[in-house]
Amino acid sequence: MSGPLDGITVVDLSRALAGPHASMLLGDMGARVIKVESAGGDDTRGWGPPFVGPEDDPVSTYYLACNRNKESIVLDLKSDDGRDVLTRLARRCDVLVENFRPGVMDRLGFGVERLHELNPALVVLSVSGFGHDGPEGGRAGYDQIAQGEAGLMSVTGPDPDQPQRIGVPIADLLAGLHGAYGVAAALRERELTGRGRVVRTSLLAAVVGVHAFQGTAYTVAGQVGRAQGNHHPALAPYGLFHASDGPVQVAVGSQGLWVRFAEAFGIDPADPLLATNASRVAHREHLVEVIDAAFAAWRAEDLLARLAELGIPAGKVRTIDEVYDWDQTRSQGLVVSVDHPVLGPVELPGPPIRFDDNAFGGGREVHLPPPALDEHGASVRAWLDDLDARG
């Protein structure tokens, strides 16, 4: 169970996606993650279809996506026993992750002050929907609502009148990613100070944090971004075009590339409407028509080969199955094999980080399957008993 976070223990009180994604990333890096669930289990255990496995014990593929490299223990945090076990976990663990609505941890008797009384070195990651304070800090957070409220849907879709959600729960996933790197920073700080810190993020913060040029276009230039389909608002040509038998994507990111690209496909690079990036952006519809007309004589496979010869960044639009069957995906450790307690050997999407001494994704050479409900309840309690016995 090697990895840069080997020796770090995480107690994960979160459910659904943002918090579990954060704790899974920590587990990928070698941390031991103890997932605390209610008797009914994490909400995502019931999210589907698709479900797989036996009809009397179906497994949600959604749950499998965000709970690798964890153990599971069931606790009723409103009971004396549940509170006692969580108290012992807080004393012994390095990190606690929660994504309850603001105020819930206090009502359960495990607010920040209490947690740091139990363990001054504990790093607490708290993920919310819209922040832990402010005029709307108590709002519940759901990914699609956050995508809309945080502006992402307004710049996604075919045009401004048809806002679109991203095809994955990106607000949740980004909040988990930001939370995990915040924890890593807090653990580093703890090495210097001996004290844990509270790390806070939210779905709102996660999306606003990736506005990038769309944000500065407004804050600096006063320009409000709008959805423009599959074409970049500030670069052209940069987007999806059409060969005779399907779409291809092309990214012409410099003037030198533009000249090379245009000359190769019979387009006048000095055309006043197309000569500069600014003019191409201003006349994007015309540009797209010109390029689609030039590409109409090409099959997608041949076109991509020609673009590669020219050194023009380009690619196909793959379906999900094509991505996971792609040898490049597998060469990067982005598919991992685990032995699930119900399903047996299965493949899961793998961690997005590799280290130079590890051909596998994440920091581990062996990944743990997402646990069955309370699969590790007895072993976690035994571990705590052993620690208590040793003082």
- Which residues are catalytically annotated? 172
Round to whole Å and give the CA distance between 360 and 137.
40
DSSP run (H or E) holding 251:
strand 246-251
Residue among 176, 179, 151 at smallest CA distance from 165: 151
Three-state SS at 195:
coil
- The Cα–Cα gap between 281 and 223 comes to 15
- C-alpha separations of 35 from 24, 273, 371, 372, 387 in Å: 10, 58, 9, 11, 19
CA angle 149, 150, 152 (to 5 degrees): 105
Q: The tokens 């402010």 sit on which residue? A: 134
User: In which order are the strands placed within the sheet that holds 246-251?
Assistant: 238-243, 246-251, 314-315
**Cβ contact 95:10 at 8 Å:** yes
**C-alpha–C-alpha distance, residues 38 and 47, integer Å:** 16
3-state secondary structure of 124: strand
Residue 54's CB is within 10 A of a number of other CB atoms, namely: 10
Helices (H), the chain: 18-28, 61-64, 80-92, 104-107, 112-118, 143-149, 170-193, 203-208, 213-219, 255-264, 277-282, 284-295, 300-310, 320-325, 327-331, 377-390
